[in-house]
Structure 1
Amino acid sequence: EPADVIRARRMAYYKAMAEGPKPSVAVVEDVDYPNCIGAYWGEVNTTVHKGFGMSGALTNGVMRDLGDLAPGFPVVAGSIGPSHGFVHVTELGTPVEVFGLRVNPGDLVHADRHGALVIPADIVGQIAAAIQKMQDTEHLVLGPAREEGFDFAKFEAAWAAFEKART
């Protein structure tokens, strides 16, 4: 493609990231997967996206500059390595697939160091209560386990309460 077409698409991408609703994460499918060689995510793009007010990124592609990433801007990526390719935007605002996870524009994505998932819109209103229940239930074991004098008998009682709360 001509350089001006590639540049225009790149600028449209950055404009969408800057002006999109927040909080948000960038979900970028590297179409070269599984043979990715170009690192899109590094010091420059994490800093730019964080500057736009975004919260993080999810990609099946390569990331680099681990010691220089924007603080507080997590990236879940397919691999780590130098960038030896021509990284450029090919599409914007379309459904993508990252490690089998289908993400559509506007989807609610939860990601952490263990991976990512799309939260179905019809259960969003139940999430706060589900998180609170999970934390309360785990505390039935974690609380006693963190106390002085924790032993097997205390664990057994805590685990019984934990199992009862989960069923």
Structure 2
Amino acid sequence: MDDALLALLRTVDTPTVCNAIEVAQGKRGFDAFTRGTLISSAPSAPAIVGYARTAKIAAASPSTEDPATIRTRRMDYYRHMASGPAPSLVVIEDTDFPDCVGAFWGEINATVHRGLGLYGVLTNGVMRDLGDVPDDFPMLAGSLGPSHAFVHVEAIGVPVTVFGLTVHPGDLVHADRHGAVVVPPEIIPVLAASIEKLQATEKLILEPARQPGFDLAKFEAAWATFEAART
């Protein structure tokens, strides 16, 4: 992913990326996206784009491991988050889902991760401290809650599943208030052109619909042109 593609991806929403992937593949059926409704800490923020750093957490019950092991794994977690290709984002699976109770994400962790160079988080777990987290670190979570409960890291750098989307370490993820998508690596070289083609195709119906005097006859003519051009 070069700088031009990164800049473009930060200006478009995740539904656009989903549609552009279908344009690149020349068919419908792409399914590497989240299901259900996520909560965004910053609904008007630009999309989070980056290579995934992954982990699994739990919070409903105390860990049965000794405290030294827990502390060591926590530091290993932060080392993992600070390593690898940039730009990066965090993808965390809370294994208590759908009954998540403890917020791993709040003012401290959001600030630390942003300081380590990450651009946001996607999780099925809990977030809190919404008025205190960095403005440039959007959090997409499954729920809101006041407590961290017994939250602890269980696994680092492993495949995770969040709202039906499986994410592997290093996957290119695009996420915003609509959800998230994993970009297939083989379409990255043509993704910018696919987005531009998609946007041009959508104008075939959007521009006539926004003009004064738009009626059913003009819609039928515009839709025929749109249908012939779309994937």
- TM-score category (smaller protein): 0.7 to 0.9
Equivalent residues in 2 for 1:1-167, closer than 5 Å? 1-166=65-230
CA contact (8 A) 2:104 2:148 kept: no
Higher RCO (CA < 8 A, seq sep 6+): 2
Q: 1:46 to 1:151 in 2, by over 3 A?
A: farther
Letter in 2 for 1:87: V
* Structure whose CA Rg is larger: 1
Deviations 1:121-167 (A, max 9, x none): 22222211221111111122223334455454544433332222116
> What's the CA shift for 1:105?
1.0
TM-score w.r.t. length of structure 1: 0.88
Letter in 1 for 2:136: G
Q: Any stretches of 5+ residues in structure 1 without a counterpart?
A: none
**Aligned partners of 2:132 and 2:219: how far apart in 1?**
43
**Aligned partners of 1:83 and 1:8: how far apart in 2?**
23
Q: 1:159 to 1:68 in 2, by over 3 A?
A: farther
Q: Indicate the percent of aligned positions where both proteins have the same amino acid.
A: 64
**Aligned partners of 1:146 and 1:73: how far apart in 2?**
35
**Aligned partners of 1:55 and 1:143: how far apart in 2?**
34
**Aligned partners of 1:22 and 1:45: how far apart in 2?**
19
Q: 1:42 to 1:149 in 2, by over 3 A?
A: farther
CA RMSD of aligned residues (A): 1.9
Q: Which moved more, 1:121-130 or 1:147-156?
A: 147-156
CA contact (8 A) 2:94 2:124 kept: yes
CA contact (8 A) 2:89 2:118 kept: yes
TM-score w.r.t. length of structure 2: 0.66
> What's the CA shift for 1:59?
0.8
Q: Any stretches of 5+ residues in structure 2 without a counterpart?
A: 1-64
